[in-house]
Amino acid sequence: MPEKYILDLRLTGVERLSERYFLLRATRPEAPLPTMLPGQFAQLRVDGSATTFLRRPISIHNVDRQKNEVWFLVQAIGEGTRCLAAKKAGDVLNAVLPLGHGFTMPQSSEERLLLVGGGVGVAPLLFMGSCLRVKGFEPTFLLGFRTAADIIQAGEYRALGRLFVTTEDGSEGEQGFVTQHSLLQQERFTHIAVCGPKPMMMAVARYARQSGTPCEVSLENMMACGLGACLCCVEDTTQGHVCVCTEGPVFNVEQLKWQI
């Protein structure tokens, strides 16, 4: 398990990707960034808000070792995330990272990996896809959005593997939810990794169980501390009640007591 750090990162760029999504790119000017794994997250301090006292848990979206940058995908939906999205290049971004356990990386060159995401849950999949590509794999991405206007960074995902998209209104890709995409009837995979809204993850987990495919999900339980102290992210599992921030956020679906 990598060590945890409290770092004053320097923002190299803040990019508005859509109406609600912002990309924050940050560097550690004085030294290389610590080791981070796909599926891990950071607790970002919110500065400039009189009503936000707690850090915000944000998935590690990508790590660019050549530029010594870490990326965070922020969905601006509350006071805390709106403050993060309002930051500018050159601002300090205080982060506790890396936190949690990430996705299992494949060991065999024969493995075919499907990465499924919805909404802001697509964030950790870009980093995982990047790491898989370095190892010689071509991952398949299946990403779900409400409309075409919500689709973000399609080019970045396509550069790493195959990209399939669903939109609820049919404005891009196939209409419907990710579990309704024809890809799932046409192809078989050896491993599925999922992050997104809980109903979507549960639906993908049902598909995985029916098809006999190992499946890992990255839970998005509410977190305050990220260190296992506040107990607000507890999940009931086959091993008992555990803190998602320390024992997860990635779990094999067979560990979860979901009704699937």
pLDDT tens-digit readout, 65-122? 999 999 999 999 999 999 999 999 999 999 999 999 999 999 888 899 999 999 999 9
Same domain, 70 and 121: no
Given a cut of 80, is residue 189 above it in pLDDT? yes
Same domain, 88 and 158: no
DSSP reduced 3-state for 178: helix
Question: From CA 204, how far away is CA 144, in angstroms rounded?
Answer: 12
Same domain, 78 and 118: no
Instruction: Pick the last residue of a domain from 55, 74, 99.
Output: 99
**CA angle at 199 for the pair 141 and 102, rounded to the nearest 5°:** 55
Given a cut of 60, is residue 124 above it in pLDDT? yes
CA–CA distances in Å: residue 86 to residues 74, 90, 149, 232: 11, 12, 21, 27
Same domain, 132 and 208: yes
pLDDT band at 18 (very low <50, low <70, confident <90, very high): very high
What local confidence, expressed as pLDDT, does residue 137 receive? 95
In a domain? residue 108: no
pTM of the model: 0.96
Question: Which element (helix H / strand E) includes 191?
Answer: strand 191-195
What residues make up the domain containing 58?
5-99
Mean pLDDT of 213-229: 94
Same domain, 129 and 93: no
In a domain? residue 107: no
Question: Which element (helix H / strand E) includes 205?
Answer: helix 198-211
For residue 228, what is the domain's CATH number? 2.10.240.10
Mean pLDDT of 192-197: 97
Same domain, 206 and 129: yes
Question: β-strands 191-195, 69-75: how paired?
Answer: unpaired
In a domain? residue 236: yes
Cβ atoms 130, 157 nearer than 8 A: no
CA atoms within 13 A on the CB side of 232: 9
Q: Which two tokens stand for residue 86?
A: 């309002």
Same domain, 29 and 9: yes
Describe the strand order of the beta sheet including 191-195 as a list of residue ranges: 174-175, 162-167, 140-145, 113-118, 191-195, 215-218, 250-252
What local confidence, expressed as pLDDT, does residue 232 receive? 93
Question: From CA 105, how far away is CA 82, in angstroms rounded?
Answer: 33
> What is the count of structural domains for the chain?
3
Cβ atoms 245, 227 nearer than 8 A: yes
What local confidence, expressed as pLDDT, does residue 105 receive? 94
Given a cut of 70, is residue 260 above it in pLDDT? no
Cβ atoms 118, 143 nearer than 8 A: yes
pLDDT band at 211 (very low <50, low <70, confident <90, very high): very high
Instruction: Pick the last residue of a domain from 36, 69, 99.
Output: 99
Same domain, 166 and 179: yes
Instruction: Pick the last residue of a domain from 99, 127, 162.
Output: 99
Same domain, 138 and 209: yes
Structure-derived torsion over alpha carbons of residues 79, 231, 121, 137, reported in degrees to the nearest 10: 140
Neighbours of 49 (CB within 10 A): 14
Question: β-strands 56-64, 140-145: how paired?
Answer: unpaired
In angstroms, the first-to-last Cα distance of the chain is: 30
In a domain? residue 105: no
CA atoms within 13 A on the CB side of 40: 22
